[in-house]
Amino acid sequence: MSNFAELSGGDGDAAKFLMRWRGRQEGPHSASVIEAKLVANEIGMLHEIFHNGQWVTIRKYIAEREAALQAERQDRDERERRAREEVEKMARERDEQLRTATLAEEKRKNDLLAAGLARQNYQGNVSIGSQLPLKAHRGGLILTLGLIGLFICGPLALAAWIMGSSDLHEMDAGIMDQSGRSNTSTGKNCGIIGTFLWIIGFVIYLAAS
């Protein structure tokens, strides 16, 4: 038999009920008192209590409360399941983005290595930087994207992260103008911070909703 006091709200002295049996009315009794009477067989499940403006048997009251609590549990479980599925979906998408970015980074590294070897074979011992014009840096653009991504638009933070990493590698390889290194590095760092902050914020929003 379900615990009458727990079904009535968990606090046995909080809920109070009028009770009647064969026309005789008594009470009001707290839920814990009614529970004690049930356990002691002083009253039965066919005794009536006054609840929500009407007289109902204790058996019917318990059945209705159990059904209501079961519905609440099912609704809570469903909301928790949906939240878990959404978080898992976000995690998969994040992993896929990181995997794509990693593959792209590896491809750029390989391309830079191949380009460096080709220039060395062509120029011999002559410095690459002294013979070929350097690519113009994108430090200002990357810094702008990083700041906008950090405060306004999350995808721009990821773009600043990827572009900044690429340009810094090209600067290290000596094929891009070094004067933009500071802005490029700052923009990349803003992009990294912004990307993770937006991801964390979105996860917290989902959990809270």
CA R_g for the chain: 35
Looking at residue 132, what is its pLDDT?
A: 61
- Asked if 158 and 200 touch (Cβ cutoff 8 Å), the reply is no
- Residue 186 and residue 204 in one domain: yes
Looking at 69, 94, 118, the residue that finishes a domain is 69
Distance CA 183, CA 164 (A): 9
Same domain, 40 and 90: no
Whether residue 108 is found in the same domain as residue 191 = yes
Distance CA 173, CA 116 (A): 8
CA distance 188 to 194: 10
Question: What pTM does this model have?
Answer: 0.38
Place of tokens 């399941």: 81
Q: From the first residue on, what is the mean pLDDT of each consecutive set of 10 residues in the chain (209 residues)?
A: 65 72 86 85 88 88 87 90 91 90 89 82 55 80 88 86 91 87 91 90 85
For residues 91 and 9, state if they share a domain: no
- Tell me what pLDDT residue 178 has: 87
**Peptide bond between residue 133 and the one before it cis (omega within 30 degrees of 0):** no
* Boundary-marking domain end, from 40, 69, 98: 69
- Domain boundary (33, 48, 69) is at 69
Q: Are residues 57 and 92 in the same domain?
A: no
Q: Do residues 45 and 87 share a domain? A: no
Report yes or no on 74 lying in a domain.
no
